[in-house]
Chain A
Amino acid sequence: MNGKLRLPKQIKKILTKIFVRPWPYWVGGLLIAIANIIYLAVTNKYWAITTGFARFGAWLLEIVGIEVQTWAVWDYYEYLRPWKDRYTFSNLGIIIGALIAILLAGQFKWKKLKNKKQFFLALGGGWLMGYGARIAIGCNIGGLYSAISSLALNGWLYLPFIVLGILIGSKLLQKWLV
């Protein structure tokens, strides 16, 4: 654009389509499915997120001297320190992958918190998600996406109740803020 590199119009159009314009949802959906299938084929593991958050939080407590390894929760999934936990790597990857995508689109902006209300909604909403995901053993990814993909009944049981939660949460938000 500053004259150094003049690409043919056709190629420029394609690059804009890939890197600047939002993709159609079905393209994203298709690629997410393919990425997950490849990951399962290569590693025999499925995509999940929040178990990593629980291990990370527990590790922070361990650092300050609290006994966490005896928690009953680790009977269901092993306690791993962050650098031995594959979720740490995939979670950081999502952040960096999205950062790369938005920078290449030239649409990055550091978006500041708007007000105090937003701060408490964010903290409270995050807290609820974390707590709920631990109870249900899975978030929208491990509990829903990967579970339904695995042809697991637990994924189908998860779906109607996350729908109910989101419906009621959205109605509350509308009442408070609009």
Chain B
Amino acid sequence: MADKKRLNSSGLGIQRKVGGGFLLIALVIYIVLYLFLPPLFAYSWLLGLALGFILQRSRICFTAAIRDPLLFGMTELSRGLILSLMISSLGFAALQYYRLSQGLSLIGRFVPLGWHIPIGAFIFGLGAAISGGCASGTLMRIGEGFQMQLIVLIGFVLGSTHGAYDAGWWYQLIGEQEVTHLPTILNWPKALLLQLGLLIMLYLFAYWWEKYQFRS
């Protein structure tokens, strides 16, 4: 590490040791959770650890993935996340298909359609742009040592509670369309074609957009 002449190596060693210590503690917590609580909590803890690690290492930020193409014409991060969505869609679809064919319930994140989604998503986007990060980004950056994101989290909890208090009023906007699972609305081949087609089109558009923005 020749480029770190000005950094003293003992400080680096200390950071690594503390990091290793936290890793050990995290694993102990996993075991304790696994032994004494329903396994869902241990798995959720593990999911969080893995995602926090991956997000930090790959600098993935959902806000930046949406913002950077619009502001700076850069789409590498966006394309990384579109790719991620392609793979997760295939995985989710396979699991859903298997469960439905076994007569089990449909799994996934479904919310009835209505104006609450556009309005809420817009407000969320405004906040994410102003505070420099979305929900996952805020948590990841607290881990990175940002005091600012601790304030964001406080605001986040306050806003969430405020929103939960007001939600009864907003949820009058929830519409009739309760089934939002594309394969149920269409059928499996059509839904997969539509989903992957949209993602591939977004990917290609992002690729072209960057080329266009940085043409010399």
The CA-CA distance from A159 to B23 in the complex, in Å, is 35
State whether A130 and B161 are in contact (beta carbons under 8 Å apart), knowing that A37-B92, A93-B46, A110-B145 are contacts in the complex: yes
| Contact (Cβ within 8 A) A135 B167 | yes
| Interface-centre pick from A96, A114, A138, A141 (highest chain B CB count, 10 A) | A96
| Contact (Cβ within 8 A) A129 B156 | yes
Count CB-based A-B contacts (< 8 Å). 557
Q: Is the interface of B mostly helix, strand, loop or mixed?
A: helix
The CA-CA distance from A60 to B164 in the complex, in Å, is 13
A11 contacts B by Cβ under 8 Å: no
A7 contacts B by Cβ under 8 Å: no
| Contact (Cβ within 8 A) A2 B49 | no
Task: Give the interface of B toward A (CB within 8 A).
Answer: 1, 7, 9-13, 15-16, 18-20, 22-23, 26, 33, 39-60, 62-63, 66-67, 70-71, 76-77, 79-89, 91-93, 95-96, 107-113, 116-132, 134-136, 138-149, 151-168, 170-171, 177, 180-183, 185, 191-192, 195, 198
Q: Can you spell out 11 A-B residue pairs with CB atoms less than 8 angstroms apart?
A: A1-B12, A23-B58, A33-B83, A73-B171, A103-B18, A122-B149, A130-B157, A140-B63, A153-B177, A154-B113, A170-B67
Closest 10 CB pairs of A and B: A93-B48, A165-B125, A97-B52, A28-B58, A136-B120, A130-B159, A126-B155, A125-B131, A169-B129, A134-B163
> What 5 additional pairs, Cβ within 8 angstroms, besides A43-B39, A43-B40, A97-B49?
A23-B57, A129-B124, A132-B122, A136-B119, A149-B88
